[in-house]
Structure 1
Amino acid sequence: MFDVDAFMLARVQFAFTVSFHIIFPAITIGLASYLAVLEGLWLKTRNPDYKALYQFWSKIFAVNFGMGVVSGLVMAYQFGTNWSGFSEFAGSITGPLLTYEVLTAFFLEAGFLGVMLFGWHRVGDRLHFFATCMVALGTLISTFWILASNSWMHTPQGHEIINGQVVPVDWLAVIFNPSFPYRLFHMVVAAFLSSALFVGASAAWHLLKGNRSSAIKRMFSMSLWMLAITAPIQAVIGDLHGLNTLVYQPAKIAAIEGHWDNSDGEPTPLILFGMPNMDTEQTDYKIEIPYLASLILTHSWDQQIPALRDFAPEDRPNAPVVFWSFRIMVALGLLMILQGLIGLWLRRKGTLYHNQTFLKFVLLMGPSGLIAILAGWVTTEVGRQPWVVHGLQRTKDAVSAHSELHMSISLLTFFVVYSLVFGIGYVYLIHQIKQGPDHNGDAEPGDALPDHEPLSISGRV
C-alpha cells in the first residue's frame, strides 16, 4: 500500500489511533474537574445556573468518556498485535503500570460514573457531589499512570536488562523517572486549557447567536478565567520541561531548534522559522535571533546547545516534523495567552459579552487546545525517534512481523471505522452543544442519551 513497508504502516496506524484517542481523554480530564467545580458552586450558592451548566456538560462528558473508552481499547491491543517486540522487551514495566491504572483509576471512575450521570434525583446532593469528585479524581489518577509509563519510555530509570528484557529493580525510580513530573503537569494543564477553550467557544457561539442568558455568560466568564490563569502557567511548565529534555534527550532539542552545527563556537541563535534539511544537514531559509536559544535553554548568553551533527545520522529524529510541530504548539500557546489577556481587558471595560470580534476569535480558538496537544504529542514522540525506549530499544526492533498487505488492510479498516464511529459522535456532540444548557435546570444529565440504548462502559480510557 502506497509503496511503504510494514514497519512504516505500523507506525502510521499507531499514530492514527493515538491521535484520535488523545482528544477524548484531554476533554474528559478537564470536563470532569469542571463538573466538580460547577456542582460544588451549586451546593454552596444554590444558583440554578451552576446546576444547568453541570447537567449540560455532563452530557458532553458522557459522550467523550465513551469514545475515549473505545479508542483506548484499540491502542491497548496494538501493543500486542503490532508491537510485540516492545511488549516482550519492556512489558514487565509497562504492563504493571497500565494494570495499576485499571485497578485504581478505571475502577474508581466506573464505580461512580453511573451515580454521577444518572443519580441526580436518586441520591443525596452530597453523595452525588462525592461521586463527581471521585470521577474527576479517577481521570487524574489515570493520567498519572499513563504518563508514568510513557515518561519511562523517554527517560528510563530503575531497571536492569537481563536476557534481553527489561526487569524493574526500583519501582519508585521507574514511576518517578526524570521527565515524569514535567510531562504529568504539562499534560494535565493542557487538558484544562483544552476544556476551557472548548467551553469558551461553545459559550461564544451562543453569545454570537444572541443567547445572553446568565448561564451562558457564566460559562463564558469561567472559561476565560481558567484560560487567563492556566495559559501562563503552561508556558512556565513548558520551559521547565524543555530544560529537562535538554539534559536527557539533547537530540530532540537540537531537532526542535533546527540547530545543526556548533563549529563556529558562537552562542546558539533561536531559529524562528526555516526548513530543516536532513540531506544537506542545514536549515534553509531561516530567520533567527542571535543568542536567544542559548538564553532560553541554558539561561546564559554564551553556552551552546547540542547540535544535530553531534549525533550519528541514524540517531537523529526527523528534524522538519519536530521543528514545525513544536512551533505550531508554541504559536497556539501564545494565542491562548493573548486570548486570556484580551478577556481580562474587555472584562474591565464591561464589554466582555458584547465584543463581536473577540467572540469570533474565541470561537475560532475552540479547537486550538486539542491541536496544540496533538502538535505537542508529535514533538514528543517523533523527537524520541529512532528509539521506542530511549537509548534501550529502537523502534524498528519493537515491531511485529506482519506483511505489508496485513498492515494495509488493518490501517484502511481503522480509517473507515474510526471515520464512521467518531464522525457520528462528533455530529452528536455538536448537536448537543448547539442546544445549550437547560435554563430550567430540571433535566437529568442522562436524559440526552437514547432511551433504548443505555450508556455502557466496558473498557478503560
Structure 2
Amino acid sequence: MTFLGLEAEMLARIQFAFTVSFHFIFPAFSIGTASYVAVLNAIWLWKRDPAYLKLFEYWKTIFAVTFAMGVVSGIVMSYQFGTNWSAFSDKAGPVVGPLMSYEVLTAFFLEAGFLGIALFGRKRVGDTAHMVAVAMVAIGTLISATWITSANSWMHTPAGFSIDPNGVFVPEDWWQIVFNPSFPYRMTHTVLAAFLTTAFAVGSVGAWHLLKDRENRQARIMFSMAMWMAAIVTPIQIFVGDLHGLSTLEHQPAKIAAMEGHFDTYEDGAPLILFGIPDDAAETTHYAVEVPKLGSMILKHEWDGEIKGLKEWPRDQRPPALMPFITFRVMVGIGFLMLGTGLWSLWARWKRTLYETRWLHRAALIMGPSGFVAVLAGWYTTEVGRQPWTVYGHLRTADSLSPVSAPAVGASLLTFIVVYFIVFGTGVYYLLKLMRRPPTPLEDHELDLGPIRTAGITPGPSQDHPLGGHHGH
C-alpha cells in the first residue's frame, strides 16, 4: 500500500527529514547564541560598558525564544523513534539510547537548571552567580551537542559493539562507542558551523541596523564581533571540513563517490566535477564540468590518487547520488561566500571603513540566513549519503522501519507540515520581529550597574568593539 505513490519507508524518511530540518536550525542557532550572550555578559562585567549590557539583554531574549522552539521541536522528533523506527530502536537502542539519555542528564538538565537565573536572575543572585549561570547554559548547549553528535557519528562509523543472535547491538567498549572514528571531525565541524550560523545571523542584524543608522553603537559592536568571528572561524571550518572529508573517504567511500558524482573508478587521478547532474539509473553524471586531477588532489592530497566510483558497490548498497552531490556544493559554496565576507570585513577594518562600507553591510544582510542553509545542506549530504544504512554497513534503513502503513505515515506527515509551518512559522516571525527592533541604549532606570553605581564611578569611554578603537580598528 502506498500514499501518493510513496512507500512507508520513504514517507517515514521524509517525515524524519522534515522534522529534523525544523529542529536542527534552532540548536544550530542556540548553541552559538548561548556562547555569544555569555561573551557579552563577561565583557559587560569586565568593562562595565552599558552597551554590552544592552546587547546582552537584546540577544538573551532571542536566545530564549530559539531555545524554547528547539526543545519543542526536539521532543516531537524523538517520538518518531518509537512510531516509525521501532525496529531501529529495538536493535540499536542499547547503544544509541544511553547516549541520548546522557544528553538529557548532563546537558538538558544543566541548561534548564540555570536558564531561569541566566534570563531573570541578575538582580536576585548578583553578578558573579549570574555569570556562572550564563556560562553553564552555554556549556550545557555544547555538552548537548557532544552527546547527540556522538550518537549520530556512531551510526556512520560504528565501533565498540557486538551483535547478538537476535541482531541487537550490544555495547562492548563505551570509549570506542562515544569516541568513534568520525566523532572528532563531526563534532568540531558541527560546533564551528553553529558558531558561524550565529555569527552571520548577528552580523546580518547588525548590518540591518547600520543601514538604518550607522552611528548606532550597539549595532556597530555586534557587527564588528560577528565579522571577527566570520574572518577567524571560516578558514578553520574549511580546514576541519577537509579533515572530515578525508575521514569520510576512509570509512564511507561510497558517500564520497556520491558527493563527487563519480560512478567510474579513477586509478590515476579523479577530476573535480564542479557542476553536473548525476543519474543513478544511467550510472553517469550528465553535463559534467570537470577540472582534471583536482578531485584526487583534494581528497587524497596527491594528483594521481585512486578514487573509487559508485560502480564498485552493488546497486542496493549505493547511496543516491543526486542530493548529496547538490547539497555538498551548496554547503561548500556558502562556505567560500562566508570566507569572502570575512576577508572583505578585514579589508574594510584595515581601511577604517567597517561601519561606512554600505555594500559590505548589504552583503552581510543577505548572508544572514547562509549558516542555516549550510547546516541543512551539510546534514542532507551526510544523512542521504549514508543510505541505504541507518547503522552503516550493519543495519539497513528498510530493516529499521516500524510495521506501519504508508497512509498512516503520510497522514501524520501532512499533519506535521501544517502544524509546523503554523507554530514555527509564527515563532520565526516573532524572532525576526525581535531582530528588527533597534538595539538602543538602556535608560538609566533600566541599568543595573551594581557596585559601579554605588561607588559613584562612571563607565569608561565608549569602544566600538571588544578590542577597542574606532571605525573598525
TM-score w.r.t. the length of structure 2 is 0.92
Post-superposition CA distance 1:323-367 (Å, at most 9, x none): 010000000000000000000001111211122211111000000
CA distance in 2, matches of 1:227, 1:443: 32
2:192 equivalent to 1:189: yes
2:370 — aligned with what?
A: 368
3-state SS of paired residue (2:146): helix
2:254 equivalent to 1:251: yes
1:341 — aligned with what?
A: 343
CA distance in 1, matches of 2:28, 2:76: 17
1:159-170 correspondence to structure 2 within 5 Å: 159-162=161-164, 163-170=166-173
Report if the CA contact (8 A) 2:214-2:355 is conserved.
no
1:213 — aligned with what?
A: 216
Q: 1:291 to 1:105 in 2, by over 3 A?
A: same
2:280 equivalent to 1:281: no
Report if the CA contact (8 A) 2:153-2:183 is conserved.
yes
3-state SS of paired residue (1:117): helix
2:434 — aligned with what?
A: 432
CA distance in 1, matches of 2:312, 2:40: 52
CA distance in 2, matches of 1:60, 1:314: 45
Quick one: which amino acid aligns to residue 316 of structure 1? R
CA distance in 2, matches of 1:348, 1:106: 42
Which one of the candidate residues 376, 380, 383 is aligned to 1:381? 383
CA distance in 2, matches of 1:114, 1:364: 34
Quick one: which amino acid aligns to residue 255 of structure 2? K
1:450 — aligned with what?
A: none
Q: How large is the RMSD of aligned CA atoms in angstroms? A: 1.2
1:228 — aligned with what?
A: 231
2:131 — aligned with what?
A: 129
CA distance in 1, matches of 2:265, 2:324: 20
CA distance in 1, matches of 2:102, 2:297: 41
Which one of the candidate residues 76, 92, 95 is aligned to 1:93? 95
TM-score w.r.t. the length of structure 1 is 0.95
CA distance in 2, matches of 1:268, 1:423: 44
CA distance in 1, matches of 2:268, 2:291: 13
3-state SS of paired residue (1:122): helix
State the Cα distance separating 1:437 from its structure 2 match: 2.2
1:239 — aligned with what?
A: 242
State the Cα distance separating 1:443 from its structure 2 match: 5.0
2:310 — aligned with what?
A: 308
Quick one: which amino acid aligns to residue 192 of structure 1? F
2:295 — aligned with what?
A: 293
Regions of 4+ moved over 2 Å = 441-445
Quick one: which amino acid aligns to residue 150 of structure 2? A
CA distance in 1, matches of 2:182, 2:376: 19
CA distance in 1, matches of 2:168, 2:406: 27
Stretch deviating more after TM superposition (14-23 or 402-411):
402-411
Which one of the candidate residues 198, 204, 208 is aligned to 1:201? 204
Report if the CA contact (8 A) 1:118-1:444 is conserved.
no
Percent identity among equivalent residues? 55
3-state SS of paired residue (2:270): coil
Q: Which runs of 5+ in 2 are unaligned?
A: 449-473
Give aligned pairs, total.
Answer: 444
2:73 equivalent to 1:71: yes
Which one of the candidate residues 179, 183, 186 is aligned to 1:180? 183
Post-superposition CA distance 1:48-68 (Å, at most 9, x none): 111110000000000000000
State the Cα distance separating 1:211 from its structure 2 match: 5.1
Which one of the candidate residues 358, 365, 375 is aligned to 2:360? 358
CA distance in 2, matches of 1:217, 1:211: 8
Report if the CA contact (8 A) 2:216-2:440 is conserved.
no
CA distance in 2, matches of 1:91, 1:101: 15
3-state SS of paired residue (2:147): helix
Report if the CA contact (8 A) 1:56-1:436 is conserved.
no
3-state SS of paired residue (1:384): coil
2:9 equivalent to 1:7: yes
CA distance in 2, matches of 1:349, 1:284: 46
Q: 1:444 to 1:311 in 2, by over 3 A?
A: farther
Quick one: which amino acid aligns to residue 64 of structure 1? T
Stretch deviating more after TM superposition (234-243 or 421-430):
421-430
CA distance in 2, matches of 1:110, 1:436: 29
State the Cα distance separating 1:436 from its structure 2 match: 2.8
State the Cα distance separating 1:444 from its structure 2 match: 9.0
2:331 equivalent to 1:329: yes
State the Cα distance separating 1:262 from its structure 2 match: 2.3
1:453 — aligned with what?
A: none
3-state SS of paired residue (1:160): strand
Stretch deviating more after TM superposition (203-212 or 167-176):
203-212
